[in-house]
Homo-oligomer: A and B are copies of this chain.
């Protein structure tokens, strides 16, 4: 199982708009760097940096095709994670109802803003 540290690390890796877009694109198939240049509005070196970061963390890998690097997903959690992030939950979790629930308290009391 992923350790706590590994879970945090993964979250940190995902927590960037460019990297999420790269990963969402890769769930649809292999892409080379210049494919990303077409729809990410950032510089080529910056794209490479993000791809390198994802690769260093074992999230993606690549094949060579001539001078193209064809990146693809490796970590199997990614599609599931991306899907769950897009899921629509329309109700909040139910407010806790039974007491006492904290160590010292006699909850519930009044809700405050």
Interface residues of A (CB under 8 A from B): 1-2, 4-5, 7-8, 10-12, 14-17, 20-21, 29-32, 34-35, 38, 62-66, 68, 70, 72-81, 84-89, 91-93, 95-96, 101-112
Q: For the complex, give the distance between the alpha carbons of A105 and B35 in Å.
A: 10
Known: A12-B15, A75-B89. 14 other contacts (CB 8 A): A1-B88, A2-B85, A7-B20, A11-B11, A15-B15, A29-B101, A30-B107, A31-B102, A35-B104, A62-B112, A63-B108, A68-B105, A74-B93, A81-B81
> What B residues does A8 contact at CB under 8 A?
15-17, 20
Cβ 8 A contact of A85, one of B35, B62, B77? B77
Closest to A38 in B: B103
A72 to chain B, nearest CB (A): 5
> What B residues does A12 contact at CB under 8 A?
15
Q: Which 4 A-B pairs have the closest CB atoms?
A: A11-B15, A65-B105, A30-B101, A76-B89
Most chain-B CB neighbours within 10 Å: which of A7, A77, A106?
A: A7
